[in-house]
């Protein structure tokens, strides 16, 4: 519990900074949306951007409604929150070796499995809190544009979809951090990985028969376009569960046997 609470306090400032920046983006976006909400001319003008919306899987979404706007604007929720969770997963355990604090941590009267549990619990808690704060803010900011139950359901579904995507990157990154040691290189490489998977997600929208490609990018699993209808596909849920269990199991198996650099 001590380690868990320490990690929460340690990362609180970072969480608030991420939330504040994304909150400002959402407020600015709401001001922009207010200008053309329900505007027929804007709707027709947006037809010229159909290829881009199709790449995002949003070709059938009305950009001039709150739901449609947020679905398209979801790039500013899925991508930043995935980056936050991925980097958190990479650093929350590996930083002990990088900062040469492993000796102090490992001399505490706790097992290594307890350390893993505390660290990953803190990371999941921080991920959940940031997700909840941001989507509550989105709901409050945009509720004045649409008070229907469908809007409430969409924001709820999107929050859950983003959270599932975050957890995939978080747990995968955590598993990688258990093996590798070069933290700075890891951060840059993993950031590139997230960007590449996001770009692949957009590329798939241009392909008629993507075959297995959607399974290679977590951004396809719970995309905003699916969250509009609350469509959680069983195959993607199974993959998410499999990846989560596999990476966690590996972490619990490997870390207690790992030679820690002191």
Q: Give the pLDDT of residue 55.
A: 59
User: Is the predicted pLDDT of residue 171 greater than 80, yes or no?
Assistant: yes
Amino acid 161: pLDDT: 93
Give the pTM: 0.88
Beta carbons within 8 Å of 232's beta carbon, 6+ residues apart: 160, 161, 222, 226
195-240: per-residue pLDDT in tens? Answer: 888 888 878 777 767 778 888 888 888 888 888 888 888 989 999 9
Output the CA–CA distances (angstroms, integers) from residue 203 to 78, 164, 206, 214, 233, in the order listed: 16, 21, 6, 10, 20
Which residue in the block uniquely carries the two structure tokens 């706007």? 69
Q: Residue 23 above 90 pLDDT? A: yes
Distance CA 217, CA 126 (A): 23
List of long-range contacts for 150-159, beta carbons under 8 Å, 24+ apart: 150/67, 151/66, 151/67, 153/230, 154/67, 154/70, 154/71, 154/227, 154/228, 154/230, 155/70, 157/227, 157/228, 157/230, 158/70, 158/71, 158/74, 158/77, 158/224, 158/227, 159/131, 159/132, 159/135
State how far the Cα of 205 lies from the Cα of 213, in Å rounded to an integer: 11
The rounded distance, in Å, linking the Cα atoms of 67 and 30 is: 12
pLDDT given at position 56: 61
Residue 48 predicted with pLDDT over 70? no
Q: What is the pLDDT of residue 98?
A: 58
CA distance 197 to 192: 9
Kindly tell me the sign of the dihedral angle through the C-alpha atoms of 118, 176, 212, 162.
Answer: positive
pLDDT of residue 39 exceeding 80, the answer is no
| Cα(224)–Cα(131) distance, integer angstroms | 15
CB 176 within 8 A of CB 246: no
Mean pLDDT of 58-84: 83
pLDDT of residue 50: 64
Residue 53 banded pLDDT, cuts 50, 70, 90: low
The Cα–Cα gap between 57 and 201 comes to: 9
């Amino acid at each position: 519990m001590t380690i868990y609470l320490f990690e929460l306090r340690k990362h609180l400032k970072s969480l608030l900074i991420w939330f504040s920046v994304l909150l400002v983006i959402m407020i600015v976006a709401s001001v922009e949306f207010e200008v053309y909400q329900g505007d027929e001319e804007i709707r027709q003008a947006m037809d010229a951007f159909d290829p881009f919306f199709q790449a995002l899987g949003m070709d059938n979404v009305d950009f001039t409604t709150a739901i449609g706007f947020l679905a398209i604007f979801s790039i500013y929720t899925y991508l930043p929150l995935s980056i936050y969770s991925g980097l958190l997963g990479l650093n929350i355990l590996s930083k002990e070796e990088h900062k040469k604090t492993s000796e102090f941590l490992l001399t505490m009267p706790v097992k290594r499995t307890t350390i893993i549990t505390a660290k990953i619990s803190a990371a999941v808690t921080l991920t959940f809190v940031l997700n909840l704060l941001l989507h509550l803010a989105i709901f409050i900011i945009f509720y004045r544009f649409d008070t229907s139950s469908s809007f409430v359901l969409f924001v709820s579904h999107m929050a859950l979809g983003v959270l599932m995507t975050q957890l995939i990157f978080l747990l995968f990154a955590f598993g990688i951090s258990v093996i590798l040691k070069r933290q700075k290189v890891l951060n840059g490489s993993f950031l590139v990985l997230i960007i590449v998977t996001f770009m692949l997600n957009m590329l798939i929208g241009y392909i008629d028969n993507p075959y297995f490609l959607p399974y290679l990018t977590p951004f396809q699993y719970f995309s905003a376009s699916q969250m509009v209808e609350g469509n959680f596909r069983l195959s993607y849920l199974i993959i998410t569960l499999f990846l989560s269990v596999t990476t966690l199991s590996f972490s619990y198996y490997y870390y207690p046997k790992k030679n820690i650099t002191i």
